[in-house]
Every structure is written in structure tokens, then in C-alpha cells.
């Protein structure tokens, strides 16, 4: 019963998304700017929720509550700091500047924005290449996640490969048809859906167990979880919490599918409203979903090894149809992040690699076609890799946030410091990427420095190298230093 119901709800969601995509398709111009950025027309609610749904993926529902179950609810603080505050501030500092530059010069990708300022095709290709290196395994992780979830859900009736394949095929179809506009619309539905179901789930479970007092008392009375309520632990050290919040917060801002949304706002007002509402939106989602995970531990809900906490606690305290609905929402969350990643991955490939290095005279109409072909290639390749399950790719996917975070400071410096030179930013990006990659794969380079992660140390390294190399080099003659500083902001 529950399997049929869950599958029914998932299929229902997919069909609904397809309808939204088809409506969006009818409103889409055949240009790359419209396909990638919905022609920079997103309104407040749509921008807010599409960024929200893209950012949060399945972590909020699966991995996050699992960690809260195992280690206590302090992750809420990390999430609040990284997403609610650091990302929001970067949304202004990096995002608003990018938006202004995008309005002025028509940029669609980060690489384009940097390549133009530093008059460097190589820098543009480098940024795109690094982004794709981290993005590709991350897309793969989503496919693996969806394939595994479908297999578990149907108790093996739909094998892993078929499940992952179906999700991939659907995403390709959807992204190719709908483009940014359709994705943003379904994300909006999805973001609202996630918020509502999480709160209903919280209230339902609390009503069943006698309120938050009883749930927390249960947590405090057990010997093994008594320390959950006190702030900090051997797992949650200050260094670890800060490292995690800072690297992920900065990493998110450089994630292609999130960074590209910086260009897509319809107006300044949209940006302002989204910015002010952002911290509240984050708290509204993180507190209930992570507290459910933590409370589950005190309520003696037995979690089979390898299982996710949230589905089990929902199955215990709420009706089957509701639990199914939340799980369908979580699956859809996974897809709503992946479809945006595919779209952005395709734009980086087309705009920053294919066009500058292969065919500089690409016409707009052909670029639109190539963009869609790019989605198919990118998704199919990630699917192929997800069937092979190479361990290296998994490590890359897991490390993606810190990998993207390495880009953030050189970009930030370039945006705000006139003296940044082409050599400086290139050296900063290359050094910190090499350092971070070696910390992952070379035993000689440690992953932790007095409690601080290699991710945050690498960010510092990128900062120092960018500044120092910029100071000792002179700008190349064709660099366009003024474009980030003059004439920005006038209506």
C-alpha cells in the first residue's frame, strides 16, 4: 500500500512539474539568455524560493536530521550561520554586484564576468573548468541518491540502474523543455511545499508525543543523549562549526546553479525583499527538520542501520499518506537541485568552453540548441559515471562545497579591489584549488590544521596569493579594470 502510494505521489509530482515546464516552454524565447536566466525577470517569491529549493536539496531532509540524531541538534546553528547569514551577506556583496554587472554587460556566467574584466579567455575557461570539475560528481551524487531511494522504496522492484536512469531521463526532458523559467516555477512550488510539510510533520509528531517539553525531557533523561542539549561537544567544536559554516557559506555562492541566480532577478526591489526575508526562511525550515532528527533519538525510535531518520519517525507517528508525501517532497528536492545544476553546467560548458575555444562565431539561435545538447551530454555522462561508482568521484562530490569555496575569495577581491591583476587572480585560484585537491588525495597534505579544515586554510591561501601576486605584477594592457568600478548602479 505505502509503496504504491509513495510511487503514485512521486509520479504525480513529476507530472505536475512537467505541466509547469510545458507552460514555461510556451513563454520561452529561443535565446540562451532566456533559457539560462529566464531573461532576468524573476520576481521576489520565485527568486526567493528557487534559490531556497536549489540550495537545500536532500541534505535538509536526510543527512541533516541523521546527523542531529547521531550528534545532537547543533547543526541548526551551523546551517543558520552559513545559509541564513553568510550566504545572505554574500548575496548582497557578490550577488548584487554580479546582478548590476549582468544588467550592464549581459553576462550569463561567472567565467564570462571574470574573463571580460581580465581580458582572458584562459581565466574564463579555468573558472568554468574548475566549476564543472566539482559540479559533475555532485550531479552524480544526486542521481545515485535518487536511484538508491527508488530502489529502497520499491523494495528492489525498480533496480538502482533503472531508477537512476529514469530520474536522469526525466531531468533531461524537463530541463531541455523548461529552461530556467520552468525550473524556477517548480522550485517555488517545491519550496513552499517543503516548508508546509515540515511544519505539519513537526506539529504532528509533537502532538503525538506530548509537546516539545516531553520530547526534550525524553532527550535529557537518557544518559547517552543528555549531552545533546548542551551547546557544543567533541564533535561540534567551535573550529569545526566555524570552518563548516564559512566554507559551505562561501562555497554555495560559487556553486554554478546558485551563482547564476544572482544574475536572474527582475529588479533591485526583488533583490532587496529576497535578501531581507532570507534568514527567516532558513530558520523556518532548519529548526523543525533538524529538531525532529534530534528528538527521534530520545523517543527511542529505532533506526535500522543505513536508514534515514526522518522517514522512520514519520512512519511511526503520522499516517502513511503523509509520510509518503514528505518523502516524495525530499525526492523532488533532490531533483530540483539537480535540474538547476544541469542547466548551469550546460551554460558553463557552452558559454565558457565551447564558444571561446571552439567556435567564437556561434549564432544565438545555434547557441540555444547547443545549450540543450549540453544538458543531454552532461546528464548522460554523470549517469554513466554513477553506474560505475568510482570512489574518487564520490570524494570530489562530497568535497564540492569546499572546492567551490576556494573560488570565492579571489572573485570577491577581484570585484572590490582595483589592483587585482590577471596574474593575481589566476594564481590565487590555481594555488588554492591545487592545495585543496592535494589535501583530499595526497596523504602528505593534511586535511586538518589545529581543528580548522583544509577547506578554510585553502581559502586563506587563495586570498593571500591573489593579493600578493597582484601587488607584484602589473595589469596586462588589455585588462578592463574600470568595468567593476565605474558607472555601476545608476538606473
Q: Which residues of the shown chain bind another protein in the complex (CB under 8 A)? A: 73, 76-77, 80-81, 84-86, 88-89, 92-93, 96-97, 100, 104-108, 112-113, 115-116, 119-121, 124, 211-216, 220, 226-227, 229-232, 238, 241, 268, 272-273, 275-280, 282-283, 287, 291, 356, 416, 477-480, 482-483, 485-490
For residue 275, the minimal CB distance to another protein (Å) is: 6
For residue 230, the minimal CB distance to another protein (Å) is: 4
CB-nearer residue toward another protein: 147 or 249: 249
Q: Name the residue among 212, 208, 194 with its Cα closest to residue 61.
A: 194
CB-nearer residue toward another protein: 112 or 151: 112
CB-nearer residue toward another protein: 254 or 385: 254
CB-nearer residue toward another protein: 216 or 473: 216
3-state secondary structure of 201: helix
For residue 352, the minimal CB distance to another protein (Å) is: 10
CB-nearer residue toward another protein: 30 or 480: 480
CB-nearer residue toward another protein: 163 or 298: 298
For residue 386, the minimal CB distance to another protein (Å) is: 33
- Look up residue 212 and give its three cell numbers: 516539545
In order, the DSSP letters of 345-365 are HHHIIIIIIIHHHT-TT--HH
DSSP collapsed to 3 states, 29-73: CCCHHHHHHHHHCECHHHHHHHHHHHHHHHHHCCHHHHHHHHHCC
- Look up residue 444 and give its three cell numbers: 602528505
CB-nearer residue toward another protein: 137 or 288: 288
CB-nearer residue toward another protein: 356 or 424: 356
CB-nearer residue toward another protein: 154 or 267: 267
CB-nearer residue toward another protein: 108 or 178: 108
- Provide CB contacts within 8 A for 386, sequence distance 6+: 140, 143, 144, 147, 164
Tell the residue number behind the cell numbers 518523502, with chain if given. Answer: 327
Tell the residue number behind the cell numbers 589592483, with chain if given. Answer: 419
- Look up residue 460 and give its three cell numbers: 586563506
For residue 407, the minimal CB distance to another protein (Å) is: 19
For residue 90, the minimal CB distance to another protein (Å) is: 10
Please count the other Cβ atoms lying within 10 Å of the Cβ belonging to residue 474: 10
For residue 379, the minimal CB distance to another protein (Å) is: 26
For residue 447, the minimal CB distance to another protein (Å) is: 23
Residue 194 near residue 303 (C-beta atoms within 8 A): no
For residue 343, the minimal CB distance to another protein (Å) is: 18
CB-nearer residue toward another protein: 76 or 399: 76
- Look up residue 101 and give its three cell numbers: 554587472
DSSP collapsed to 3 states, 272-310: HHHHHHHHHHHHHHHHHHHHHHHHHHHCCCCCCCCCCHH
Spatial separation of the C-alpha atoms in residues 411 and 235, rounded to whole Å: 32
For residue 110, the minimal CB distance to another protein (Å) is: 11
Residue 184 near residue 50 (C-beta atoms within 8 A): yes
- Look up residue 184 and give its three cell numbers: 524556477
- Provide CB contacts within 8 A for 183, sequence distance 6+: 21, 50, 174, 175, 336, 339, 340, 343
Spatial separation of the C-alpha atoms in residues 54 and 256, rounded to whole Å: 11
Cα angle value 220/221/227 (rounded, 5°): 40
For residue 231, the minimal CB distance to another protein (Å) is: 4
Amino acid at each position: 500500500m505505502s509503496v504504491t502510494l509513495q510511487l503514485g505521489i512521486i509520479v504525480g509530482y513529476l507530472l505536475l512539474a512537467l505541466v509547469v515546464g510545458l507552460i514555461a516552454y510556451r513563454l520561452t524565447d529561443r535565446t540562451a539568455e532566456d533559457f539560462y536566466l529566464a531573461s532576468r525577470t524573476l520576481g521576489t517569491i520565485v527568486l526567493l524560493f528557487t534559490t531556497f529549493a536549489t540550495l537545500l536539496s536532500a541534505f535538509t531532509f536526510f543527512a541533516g536530521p541523521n546527523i542531529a540524531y547521531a550528534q545532537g541538534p547543533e547543526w541548526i546553528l551551523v546551517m543558520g550561520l552559513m545559509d541564513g547569514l553568510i550566504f545572505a551577506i554574500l548575496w548582497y556583496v557578490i550577488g548584487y554586484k554580479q546582478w548590476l554587472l549582468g544588467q550592464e554587460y549581459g553576462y550569463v556566467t561567472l567565467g564570462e564576468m571574470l574573463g571580460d574584466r581580465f581580458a582572458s579567455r584562459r581565466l574564463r575557461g579555468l573558472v568554468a573548468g574548475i566549476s564543472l570539475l566539482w559540479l559533475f560528481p555532485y550531479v552524480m551524487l544526486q542521481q545515485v541518491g535518487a536511484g538508491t531511494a527508488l530502489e529502497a522504496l520499491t523494495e528492489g522492484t525498480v533496480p538502482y540502474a533503472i531508477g537512476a536512469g529514469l530520474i536522469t531521463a526525466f531531468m533531461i526532458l524537463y530541463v531541455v523543455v523548461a529552461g530556467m523559467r520552468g525550473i524556477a516555477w517548480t522550485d517555488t512550488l517545491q519550496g513552499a511545499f517543503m516548508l508546509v510539510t515540515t511544519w505539519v510533520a513537526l506539529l504532528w509528531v509533537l502532538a503525538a508525543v506530548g509537546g516539545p517539553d516531553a520530547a526534550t525531557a525524553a532527550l535529557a533523561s537518557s544518559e547517552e543523549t543528555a549531552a545533546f542539549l548542551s551547546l557544543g561537544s567533541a564533535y561540534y567544536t567551535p573550529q569545526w562549526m566555524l570552518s563548516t559554516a564559512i566554507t559551505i557559506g562561501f562555497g554555495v555562492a560559487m556553486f554554478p546553479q546558485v551563482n547564476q541566480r544572482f544574475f536572474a532577478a527582475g529588479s533591485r526591489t526583488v533583490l532587496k525583499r529576497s535578501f531581507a526575508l532570507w534568514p527567516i526562511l532558513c530558520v523556518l525550515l532548519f529548526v523543525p527538520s533538524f529538531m525532529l532528527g534530534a528528538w527521534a533519538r530520545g523517543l527511542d525510535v529505532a533506526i535500522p542501520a543505513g536508514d534515514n531518520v526522518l522517514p522512520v519517525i514519520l512512519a511511526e507517528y503520522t499516517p502513511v499518506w503523509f509520510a509518503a508525501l514528505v518523502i516524495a517532497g525530499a525526492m523532488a528536492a533532490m531533483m530540483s537541485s539537480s535540474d538547476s545544476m544541469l542547466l548551469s553546467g550546460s551554460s558553463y560548458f557552452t558559454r565558457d568552453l565551447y564558444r571561446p575555444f571552439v567556435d567564437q562565431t556561434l549564432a544565438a539561435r545555434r547557441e540555444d540548441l547547443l545549450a540543450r545538447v549540453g544538458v543531454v551530454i552532461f546528464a548522460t555522462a554523470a549517469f554513466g559515471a554513477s553506474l560505475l561508482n568510482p570512489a574518487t568521484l564520490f570524494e570530489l562530490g562530497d568535497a564540492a562545497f569546499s572546492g567551490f569555496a576556494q573560488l570565492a575569495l579571489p572573485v570577491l577581491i577581484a570585484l572590490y579591489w582595483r589592483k587585482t591583476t590577471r596574474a593575481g587572480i589566476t594564481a590565487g585560484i590555481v594555488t588554492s584549488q591545487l592545495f585543496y585537491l592535494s589535501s583530499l588525495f595526497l596523504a602528505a597534505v593534511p586535511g586538518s590544521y589545529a581543528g580548522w579544515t583544509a577547506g578554510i586554510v585553502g581559502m586563506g591561501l587563495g586570498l593571500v596569493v591573489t593579493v600578493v601576486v597582484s601587488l607584484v605584477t602589473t595589469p596586462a594592457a588589455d585588462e578592463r579594470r574600470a568595468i567593476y568600478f565605474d558607472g555601476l548602479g545608476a538606473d
